[in-house]
Structure 1
């Protein structure tokens, strides 16, 4: 990817293609790692809830009715008891044996619904914010990408948060679309439209620092290559994206655990014989809805599971995020350069 001292701006539809193509590739190749990560984090989340029932330490709130049928409850308890995951490879093999290979792409449709608009909004707003802030690659100010990354991420994440909720719920357990729609419909009637943004705060806790750390490292690495007269080609861009993404993913994993904890709560209320869950175990039947405060959740996970609980799913998260960031930025930069040259020659 050759450096161009005065590149032509790309058109809006070209920016959508450049950013959207990377989102599609990432969703297709990285969804299995996301499924594994969510399962490991769900396991940690359930262990914390079991501890909360035995020794309540978080404030609770009541709800009016059940959202899941008795069959779903029985399936959930059987699934959790039969499959204890000890690591990435163990989780992969158990999921494939018990549920089939296709389950690794659970939530692919909402993942595409999340990733494509998120990336398009995110990259477009980031590049625009960086331009408005006056960022100059020849004399870079490392703080400007941090500000641009934070602002663009807030806008993008808030916009697509409902789709992220559906994707996480589908990946945490085997939920068919019909059951998911039933859960969402009942949750909407009980809690109103705000339920669609469940987990938004911990998502922002994860994504804003992630974006700030990622763009700071990526732009710093890129600027170092430029100062060192090293060609910033596709290979260099891929390496910078992977390294920056890996660092950001590691530092923000605790917030990702809290996000998963909140979002898999969708449809889990208190159960009783009156609402059709006669055969549920007493543990699940008495399970309270936990505090929605991210910091409280993180502190409780730390008390129950220790530091390893805060980094549940780190390995599959790194296996997904680092190459995903590399694919995304390489695809975007390559297509952006292609369109710049096309516009110049045209």
Structure 2
């Protein structure tokens, strides 16, 4: 009978390969499971000109999309996420664990500064890889999208708008993702130590800590996510002002002029609803895969 792995005895500074593979598997799992809610979030954030593309809530959006376009529409673009999420999350978690070890985040106590630095470094690297896939995903998610294939979308967007279309939202993504990731990892590590001070392998702890971390981080960064969506979907808009917007400040000004303060909260409910269970699942998967891979 194989000897049971002692989770506490596993070194916190596992090999880079273990952390990257665990992160890749966790990322694919996270995004694929919660994708329909993410699709609803994207549609609620887009400034649509057609009444048919304006949704008042998660239930309203789900009912109307499924009844008029079919359930498959809620999964449109998931292949882009799967293609990008594996490599991006591998880089994300690999960088996170490497930087946390380098900054002293594995020492005793609540090393919030080290984990924040590690989380921010991780997202800078992973978002550079993921941003083009995210643009394609959102182009496929919007109401009446012309795209059904990731590679068709990639080719058409590049031909019509050039390489800049895939990175026009990158500064906004970083402005949002760095505090998002720093908050997420800080809350996660704090809650994990608070709920499980012994350090034993505890799936329930990883789920609760991950869910709370995801919900907090998603809520506070929603305004920037609205701006990111506007930038990433600008090529699908019939509005000349939106099509010409060139950066984060321009997107924020459009949101403020057209919708006021409430515009920065567009899609907050599905965003939080997506990130709480997806982060819980992501951390649960990540911690599980780390143990499983180390055991092998």
Which one has a bigger Cα radius of gyration? 1
Q: CA RMSD in A?
A: 2.6
Residue 86 in 1 paired to residue 88 in 2?
no
Matched with 2:48 is 46
Counterpart in the other structure of 2:286: 332
Using a 3 Å threshold, how does the CA distance of structure 1 residues 8 and 251 change in structure 2: closer, same or farther?
closer
**Shift in Å, 1:334:** 1.6
Deviation at 1:37, TM superposition (A): 0.3
Question: Is the contact made by 1:161 and 1:197 (CA closer than 8 Å) also made in structure 2?
Answer: yes
Please give the per-residue CA displacement for 1:240-287, whole angstroms capped at 9, x wherever unaligned. 00001100000000111001001111255xxxxxxxxxxxxxxx4766
Shift of residue 298 of structure 1?
A: 1.8
| Contact 1:238–1:327 (8 Å) recurs in 2 | yes
Secondary structure of 1:306's aligned partner:
helix
Alignment match, 1:198: 168
The structure showing larger relative contact order (alpha-carbon pairs under 8 Å, at least 6 residues apart) is 1
Count of equivalent residues: 292
Are residues 1:251 and 2:220 paired? Answer: yes
Q: Distance in 1 between matches of 2:23 and 2:222?
A: 25
Distance 2:150 2:105 in 1: 44
Q: Which moved more, 1:99-108 or 1:218-227?
A: 218-227
CA distance in 1, matches of 2:17, 2:120: 24
**Residue 257 of structure 2 corresponds to which residue in structure 1?**
303
Residue 123 and residue 286 in structure 1: after superposition, are their counterparts in 2 closer, same or farther (change >3 A)?
A: closer
Structure 2 counterpart of 1:207, from 177, 181, 184:
177
Bigger shift: residues 87-96 or 192-201: 192-201
Shift of 1:203: 1.2
Tell whether the 8 Å contact from 1:222 to 1:232 is kept in structure 2 after alignment: no
CA contact (8 A) 1:221 1:240 kept: yes
Q: 1:287 to 1:304 in 2, by over 3 A?
A: closer
Q: Distance in 2 between matches of 1:241 and 1:331?
A: 11
Which range moves more in the overlay, 203-212 or 132-141?
A: 132-141
2-side partners of 1:30 and 1:231: how far apart? 28
Residue ranges of structure 1 left out of the alignment (5+ in a row):
48-79, 269-283
Q: Give the distance between the partners of 1:147 and 1:291, measured in 2 at CA.
A: 31
Query: Aligned-pair distance for 1:183?
Result: 6.2
* Cα distance in 2, alignment partners of residues 285 and 140 from structure 1: 49
Q: Counterpart of 1:168 in 2: which secondary structure?
A: helix
| Aligned-residue offset at 1:82 | 2.8
Deviation at residue 122 of structure 1 after TM alignment: 0.3
State the 1:2 CA deviation: 6.4
TM-score, normalised via structure 2 length: 0.88
DSSP-derived class of the 2:133 partner: helix
CA contact (8 A) 1:24 1:116 kept: yes
Q: In 2, are the aligned partners of 1:38 and 1:260 still within 8 Å (CA)?
A: yes
